[in-house]
Structure formats: structure tokens, C-alpha cells
Amino acid sequence: QQPVQSPQAVILREGEDAVINCSSSKALYSVHWYRQKHGEAPVFLMILLKGGEQKGHDKISASFNEKKQQSSLYLTASQLSYSGTYFCGTEEGNNDMRFGAGTRLTVKP
């Protein structure tokens, strides 16, 4: 079951904040977040396991609400390097990852 991401695209100015959401109709064991730049492979950002934890590094953080089967990725004080397509990947406990359709983030000077 593919998770649903929103929004599909977002355009920011440098320094602005953004939130990307990921939701599933199935009970989730974990949520992964990846970023893919044009012409490159997806790169891992972080994993959140069930338990409602929040993680972050630098100015990118994420939360996971297992009861609502939702995760959100928070980008604070965005930088030009944050541009790319962000994917959430969800696992239902059997290790097969299903990716959302992606959110294209563009950060402009």
C-alpha cells in the first residue's frame, strides 16, 4: 500500500520553513525519509520507528504518529541545498518499503 504524500510540490525562499506530510491507511512499523536530487539516487535522511519519536539533524527533523499512521518532515530555515524531491517510505513490519509519490521542493535565493 503506497503512502500518500502532501503537498506534491512546494517553492520556498531561502530561510523559509516547510512541512511535508506522509500518511498511510495501514499500521506502520517505521517510516523512512529520503531526498533525491535530479539525476541522482535517493539518499537516506532518517528513520522513525513506531513509538511516536521525533528525530532531527541540522535543521531537518521528523515526527511519527503511529496511531494516526502519519509522519511529517520539517525543514527549518531552508537552504538552497535542500532542493530536491523528498520521499517517505513506509514499512508494515515485513521489511518491504513502499514509497510515496514524492514532494518536489524548490528553494530559491
Partner 1 sequence: DAGVIQSPRHEVTEMGQEVTLRCKPISGHDYLFWYRQTMMRGLELLIYFNNNVPIDDSGMPEDRFSAKMPNASFSTLKIQPSEPRDSAVYFCASSHKSGVSNQPQHFGDGTRLSIL
Say if residue 109 is preceded by a cis peptide, omega within 30 of 0: no
Q: Does 8 bind partner 1 (CB under 8 A)?
A: no
CB of 13 to partner 1, least distance (A): 27
Contacts to partner 1 from residues 14-33, by CB under 8 A: 29-30, 32
- Please state whether beta strands 98-99 and 103-108 pair in parallel, antiparallel, or not at all (unpaired): unpaired
Residue 17 C-beta: closest distance to partner 1, Å: 25
Contact between 82 and partner 1 by CB under 8 A: the answer reads: no
Q: Which residue has the cell 539516487?
A: 41
- Determine the residue type at 6: S
